Amino acid sequence: MKKGLFITFEGLEGCGKTTQAKMLHRYLIKQGFPAIFTKEPGGTKIGKKIRKILLDQKNEGMDYTTEMLLFLASRAENVREVILPALKDGKIVISDRFYDSTMAYQGYGRGIDLKIIQYFTQLVVGDAIPDITFFLDIQPEEGLKRSTMFSNYHEIRFEEEFIKKKKIKGRLFLDRVREGYKRLVEKEGKRVIRINANQSREKVFEDILSIVKDKLDRNKNKS
């Protein structure tokens, strides 16, 4: 059974989620909390290899189902090797992306049946359900301007699809992804919390930290 606290960060490329996740991790460590940071795809030896395949722009023609299954395979390893053991030890786990990314990108974005994704998600994550998920919301065009991923040309496959005006069912890919995240907020508002990513980095972190502190205080009072 899960004993720790699981916090995930979601959003489009350039929204600042990686920066905010690492800032929160550093803050919690300084405050004396046992916290770890992980990311997806990646987080494990096998996951890192899968990440290279998924984000390489040379693999633009990858089948959507193949893409989804690779993300799930990376997640399965991360859950088994990193996330669940840490949660069982009572640690705070901070993850840069988790299963909501698959719902947003492969489900709402690619158009894969959401029920299929939900089925495989249950199979993969088990008890590793996030307590808090921060969706850092930003317009795709603004996110692309900010994105540091352009400094690594091997990891810009999703941005390239937007730049090339690739459409799925009449809408640009990242527009569909953003809409997917918004729907997740509507459906799971107690867990998935929208944060305005157009604010300064400091203000975004302030908003995030207030929610995390409140959660930690409530957990403390329960024990």
Spell out the per-residue pLDDT of the chain, length 223, in tens: 468 999 999 999 889 999 999 999 999 999 999 999 999 999 999 999 999 898 887 777 889 999 999 999 999 999 999 999 999 999 999 999 999 999 999 999 999 999 999 999 999 999 899 999 999 999 988 887 777 555 454 445 566 666 666 666 767 888 999 999 999 999 999 999 999 999 999 999 999 999 999 999 888 777 6
pLDDT score for 91: 97
Query: Are the CB atoms for 112 and 65 separated by under 8 Å?
Result: yes
Q: Which residues contact 163 (CB under 8 A, 6 or more apart)?
A: 144
How far is Cα 5 from Cα 87, in angstroms, rounded to an integer? 7
pLDDT score for 39: 96
67: closest CA among 25, 102, 28?
102
pLDDT score for 16: 93
pTM over 0.85: yes
Phi and psi torsions of 11, nearest 5°: 150, 175
Query: Are the CB atoms for 187 and 107 separated by under 8 Å?
Result: no
pLDDT score for 20: 97
6: closest CA among 75, 74, 98, 72?
98
| CATH code given to domain 5-222 | 3.40.50.300
For residue 170, CA distances in Å to 127, 175, 198 come to 37, 11, 27
pLDDT score for 83: 97
